Structure 1
């Protein structure tokens, strides 16, 4: 039986009842936060969004937007076998032996392919520039300024033992090489709401965040009508039950061992919801998030 944890905030950022405060893995919703950290460093003149990275033909924007042409590791048989076998995560050198940074799915900037490897490159870039681990960078640049109290980067399997969904217990966060946050579901909703409606990012950074590359249309079993991807964030429209005008949303879905998630903001209503559910079907969480966003 699917279990879901739901938290929502209204247009003023005030939590609505019932609000689930259980600690859950935020999985790829963390990409929104990594992108925000990178954009803040761009604002500070420490990183550059559109200059090719030293020694590489792609830019930071292309990495954050999955347009750098890099491959991924999720479907590699060896990766799946080693994760399932409880082995220690690969080193970065081992990972790049499987997914080289010199082997491209397409020329940078000419296509789109979801790549966690690209986000590992971003993580490494941020850590080198700040001379600190991503855990500290996210706390200092994003989580604390957004007023989040409990959320943090997962580091060890022990961190996962305290999360709500048993399917993720025992998983080593090191296998998600770019990193992911764990925290209360209500803080995930607050994070997105404050990021999109507050002043953490400059107008230029927010414009970059929301500059979407169009991807496509409907996805079977999921509520999407149109999809696009900005800098670390998904933008598109979802279908309503009564067939009225497409409903615009901004946020990110999430999936990992034992659970899925959907954290989305409705610009027209300025409401934000975070839904995390047991299982493997992202459509379940997305449909529930849409239902909550449509509720007055």
Structure 2
């Protein structure tokens, strides 16, 4: 495994041995999308608990994967088109394959991870701001957090600059909710500032952290018990044999050619934030590596 990492200390200072290469943040992008939605809610431009366009679910339910919306990841046609390196479908083409109105369960009646749900969030944000997601994330999250090199990936060329060959030739538009690309250090800084500063108002921060338990996780992952807030994974991970499970906040992600884990442990004396990106498909490996960096000072 070829891994790149970054660590931010309690004061928000990136430590030495920090990679500056551009990497895909995959589903950690969901955390930033949720932050953008919360900032628009603070501006009274969005309501978290109002039904969306006559649908039975709300923005909050979409952000927490509790709307009942299905997912496209297992669709044969989708995976075949990605493998053939075709241009990404338009939204209407995607909806012809998976109907966002065909719910798996009534809103708040269960939990199901849904990239399609986050596409619906993206559409709400873009319609509200009359701008594309790249501009919205830049204005509401990335630039205010001081992240100067990170931006939304929009082309195959964007993926060519990453150090993971398995993602070369992939069009990030196939991740319909969007994928931010940037240095590992900026991913760690993003999570640190979201959790450890007043970037979000108290009510928004509480909403971000609001936890719905989702139970066990697949073998090979260090999770003991997992939950999900608004675009934020939270729960306990087993940091090392003989140590008590550690409470963590952040997000993991995966896509063609690489995986990532960006996490913070709020209960440790030295409150480090770590971001790890690696080639391959072993999500558990990058989660364990992030934990190793987080607990080394404890």
Q: Same fold (TM over 0.5)?
A: yes
- Structure 1, unpaired ranges of 5+: none
Paired with 2:98 and 2:16, the residues of 1 have a C-alpha distance of 45
Give the TM-score, by structure 1 length: 0.98
Partner of residue 155, structure 1: 154
Partner of residue 237, structure 1: 236
CA contact (8 A) 1:70 1:103 kept: yes
* 3-state SS in 1 of match to 2:107: coil
CA contact (8 A) 1:264 1:272 kept: yes
Give the TM-score, by structure 2 length: 0.97
Shift of 1:219: 3.3
**Superposed counterparts of 1:160-179, under 5 Å:** 160-179=159-178
For 1:91-138, what per-residue CA distance to the aligned partner results, in whole angstroms no more than 9, with x for missing partners? 100101111121011111110001011000000000000000000000
Shift of 1:245: 2.2
Runs of 4+ in 1 over 4 A off after TM superposition: none
Partner of residue 14, structure 2: 15
Partner of residue 291, structure 1: 292
For 1:202-221, what per-residue CA distance to the aligned partner results, in whole angstroms no more than 9, with x for missing partners? 00000000001001135310
For 1:64-114, what per-residue CA distance to the aligned partner results, in whole angstroms no more than 9, with x for missing partners? 000110111111111010000111111100101111121011111110001
Paired with 2:126 and 2:250, the residues of 1 have a C-alpha distance of 25
Paired with 2:79 and 2:142, the residues of 1 have a C-alpha distance of 31
* 3-state SS in 1 of match to 2:138: helix
Paired with 1:218 and 1:114, the residues of 2 have a C-alpha distance of 13
- Structure 2, unpaired ranges of 5+: none
Paired with 1:162 and 1:175, the residues of 2 have a C-alpha distance of 18
Paired with 2:244 and 2:4, the residues of 1 have a C-alpha distance of 28
CA contact (8 A) 1:185 1:276 kept: yes
* 3-state SS in 1 of match to 2:137: helix
Partner of residue 282, structure 1: 283
Shift of 1:252: 0.0
Shift of 1:52: 1.1
For 1:140-175, what per-residue CA distance to the aligned partner results, in whole angstroms no more than 9, with x for missing partners? 000000011100000010111111111111101110
Question: What is the number of equivalent residue pairs in this alignment?
Answer: 295
Give the aligned CA root-mean-square deviation in angstroms.
0.9
**Stretch deviating more after TM superposition (234-243 or 154-163):** 234-243
Shift of 1:242: 3.5
Partner of residue 273, structure 2: 272
Paired with 1:37 and 1:282, the residues of 2 have a C-alpha distance of 26
CA contact (8 A) 1:219 1:225 kept: no
